[in-house]
Structure 1
Amino acid sequence: MKLDIFIVDAFTDAQFKGNSAAIVPLEQWISDELMQKIASENNLSETAFIVKNSSNSYHIRWFSPLTEIDFCGHATLATAFVLFNHLDVSNEVEFTTNKVGSLIVTSQNDGKIVMNFPMQKPEPILHVPTDLLAGLSIAPKKVLKNRQAYFVVYNTQHEVEQVAYQSDLLKQLAPFDVVVTAKGDDADFVSRYFWPANGGDEDPVTGSIHTGLAPFWAEQLNKRSLNAYQASARGGSLICHVDFDSARVTLVGEGVLYLKGCIFV
């Protein structure tokens, strides 16, 4: 079987920055086992598989090298980039999902991609897991949690950039990942994302977690539009708009094509 594949750097306007995702368009679903093997072979943080529902609607599923993921923002942006620029889809597409409902993505005239996602605001927790505290080199100011991850809040961007983590301990928090965050020096807020239980040690740019980070910082800073920076080695920038009335978060970013080819399985 021959399948098309694209690799796109997401949340960046330059190659080798942001977060890479593979996109595999399918005419019909292949087995979960084969999708997982392809994602493991690609060895990127995410591989997205899509099947067309109608002209501007696709069902999307995301796989890390280790497991299927409920929700992935950067691979959604990368998939929309491919559809808009290489597969003749007009400037709006709907992605249907197994876990997080409908995702509406549009393309602006300037090439930026706008994604409208359900809000996943974190809530404070009473008891912080000992593996979380032991797994991070800097003690948190505050810890919250949503359906995806523990949110570890620090006082400064410097702490976010300098914190070291122990993957073996954070892995014990499965199925939850860990995001560390603080008010930014230049951006409104910064973050890093660790996910040893579900994909790898540190994710370069994580769109999905900003559906929780953005509403948290919107309340802290009393702003509804925020600039975010994920301070990984590759780095990535996002513009976030928060609508508390509709419980939705809009993320804006860019993508750059790295590879177009075929795989044989």
Structure 2
Amino acid sequence: MKIKIHVVDAFTNVRFKGNPAAVVITGKWLSDEKMQEIAAENNLSETAFLVEDDNGVFAIRWFSPLTEIDFCGHATLASAFVIFNENYQLPHITLFADSVGMMKVVRKDDGFIQMDFPNRTPTPVDDVPEALLAGLSIKPENILKNGQAYFAVYSDEDDVLSVIQDSDKLKTLAPYDVVVTAPGTQFDFVSRYFWPANGGDEDPVTGSIHTGLAPFWAKRLGKSKLMAYQASKRGGTLKCEVAGDRVLISGQAVSYLEGYITI
């Protein structure tokens, strides 16, 4: 059996930048074991699997090389990019995931794809895990947390760029990952994302965590529309807009590969 696969660089318009994701659209679900095996073989941050129902809604699941992930923004962007490219007449699509609910995705005139996600604002942490402080080479000013990750907040962009993570220590925070963030010089805020417990040492660009970063910085900076940069080696740019209990995350994408998986 042959199954079509796309690899897309998300949150960038430059190939080999942003975050690569594999996209696999099938008529019915493969087994959980087979999807995990494919994701491990791809060895990308995420592989997204999608199945379209009779109403045109795409159910989506995300797998890292290690495990199934509750929510992934960049693979959602990559999936929408593939669907739009194959269905030029569609102005928008709807995706569904158990952990996120319905997600409306719109193709904008400026070339960006806008995704509508739940607001996942982090809250302050009173009891900071020692492993978190020991796992970051620079001590953060504040620590917050949402259902996905700990937020280590710095006052200076250089700290985010310079901090070194100890993956062995951060791995013990599972199931939580760690995002480090600060105000930006060219962007409203910058971040980096460490996820040794769920995928790898550092994720190139993490759309999902911006559903927490955007509302945090929107309140701190007093503005609802923000430009963000995830400062990994590949780097990626995200437009963010906080709209009540929703966060709109927009990005660009570029195709890298089309091919077939043989099973």
- Shared topology, TM-score over 0.5? yes
Q: Which amino acid aligns with 1:108?
A: K
Correspondence for 2:255:
257
Under a length normalisation based on structure 2, what TM-score does the superposition of the two structures give?
0.98
CA offset digits 1:147-192 (Å, max 9, x no partner) = 0000000010000000000000000000000000000011000000
- Runs of 4 or more, structure 1, over 4 Å off, are none
* Cα pair distance change 1:118/1:21, threshold 3 Å: same
Give runs of aligned pairs for residues 42-121 of structure 1, distance below 5 A.
42-54=42-54, 56-87=56-87, 90-121=90-121
For residues 104-160 of structure 1, the C-alpha deviation after alignment (integer angstroms, 9 at most, x for no partner) is 101012321010000100000101000000000000100000000000000100000
- Pick closer, same or farther for the CA change 1:197–1:89 going to 2, 3 Å: farther
Give, in whole Å, the separation in 2 of the partners of 1:54 and 1:223. 40
Matches within 5 A, 1:147-226: 147-226=147-226
5+ residue gaps, structure 2, are: none
- For the 8 Å contact 1:7–1:260, the answer to whether it is kept is yes
- Asked if the contact 1:21/1:47 (under 8 Å) is kept, the reply is yes
Aligned residue identity for 1:239: K
Match of 1:125 in 2: 125
Gap regions ≥5 residues in structure 1: none
Question: Does structure 2 retain, via aligned residues, the 8 Å contact 1:56–1:89?
Answer: no
The alignment-based identity, stated in percent, is 59
Structure 2 counterpart of 1:185, one-letter code: T
Query: What SS does the aligned partner of 1:173 have?
Result: coil
Q: CA deviation at 1:91?
A: 1.8
Which among 246, 252, 261 is matched to residue 248 of structure 1?
246
Q: Which residue of 2 aligns with 1:4?
A: 4
Aligned-partner residue type, residue 259 of structure 1? L
Which moved further from structure 2: 103-112 or 185-194?
A: 103-112
TM (normalized to structure 1)? Answer: 0.98
2:15 maps to what in 1?
A: 15
Indicate the larger mover: 83-92 or 164-173.
Answer: 83-92
Contact 1:7 1:259 in 2 (8 A): yes
Question: How far 1:56 sits from its partner (Å)?
Answer: 3.4
CA deviation profile, 1:206-249 (whole Å, cap 9, x unmatched): 000000000000000000000000000000000100012xx000
- C-alpha RMSD of matched pairs (Å): 0.9
- Secondary structure of residue in 2 paired with 1:120: coil
